[in-house]
Amino acid sequence: MLTQQELLDFFEGSAGTYRFLSQVFFKELNEQAIEELALGEYPSETGNAHLDEGYRLVRRYLAFSATDRRTQLACEYARIFLAAGVFTKERQTAVPYESVFAGDERIMMGDARDDVVARFLEDGFQVNPDLHEPEDHLAFELEYLANMNERAGEWARARNRDQLHRNVVRQQEFIEGHLLSWIPLLHEASLDYAKLTFYPGMLLVAQGTLEQARDLLRGVLAQLDGATAAA
């Protein structure tokens, strides 16, 4: 059973992790972000196979990459996520929108995006309209979870069990019903275009992080349900 402080630490840590991953996938990384990544510690045994492999690939890139990482990763980002230089109809592009990987139509602005928009509105989360990107962009879905974890921390501090329970349920639903339903497909598509190990590795890091969060949230939900039953 998690203590109050452990619960707060979990939500705070999750919010920071999701926000970091959101920045990784939203646009090309700047020099500062790359330097922070290079100085980071990447464990080899996390208990999650996708996370372990993702960290291994990120470590591999950072160990053997060229000196001009910013230019190198900017070109790689464009090649994978912006479909730069991709002119084939035979392969699935790796553009980072859920609608492209959900359902049969495989088009942007599809049903998955509509469901994401509805969920964001229900939970009081809004994508900046000035960014001119569909709401089901991977970065926005991760930012939504960052926001939800910040709010979960607020509910936990206020000991508002009902609001916290709803928040945890909503997070779990979104991770299972949205992000984990298409990130593996995005990772698979990225392998057709990636020349470096960095972004495929980061997609595995995102997948493993979400899998661990899903499992931890199940435990939090069980704890909340148990506390309600005992009250």
Within the chain, where are the H helices? 4-26, 31-39, 49-64, 69-81, 98-101, 111-122, 138-158, 161-174, 180-190, 198-230
Q: Which two tokens stand for residue 219?
A: 């435990």
Per-residue pLDDT of the chain (231 residues), as tens digits, is 889 999 999 999 999 999 999 999 999 999 999 999 999 889 999 999 999 999 999 999 999 887 799 999 999 999 999 986 554 555 668 999 999 998 776 677 788 999 999 999 999 999 999 999 999 999 999 999 999 999 999 999 999 999 999 999 999 999 999 999 999 999 999 999 999 999 999 999 999 999 999 999 999 999 999 876 665
Dist. CA 33–CA 208, nearest whole Å: 21
pLDDT of residue 87: 47
Give residues with Cβ within 8 angstroms of 143, minimum separation 6.
Answer: 18, 19, 22, 125, 127
Q: The domain containing residue 217 runs over which residues?
A: 4-230
pLDDT of residue 229: 61
Contact 54, 208 (CB under 8 A): yes
pLDDT of residue 1: 82
Counted domains in the chain: 1
CATH number, domain of 155, equals 1.10.3480.10
pLDDT of residue 89: 54
Contact 21, 205 (CB under 8 A): yes
pLDDT of residue 83: 81
- Between the CA of residue 220 and those of 7, 123, 227, what are the distances in Å? 8, 20, 11
Please name which of 17, 4, 16 lies closest in space to residue 160, comparing C-alpha atoms. 4
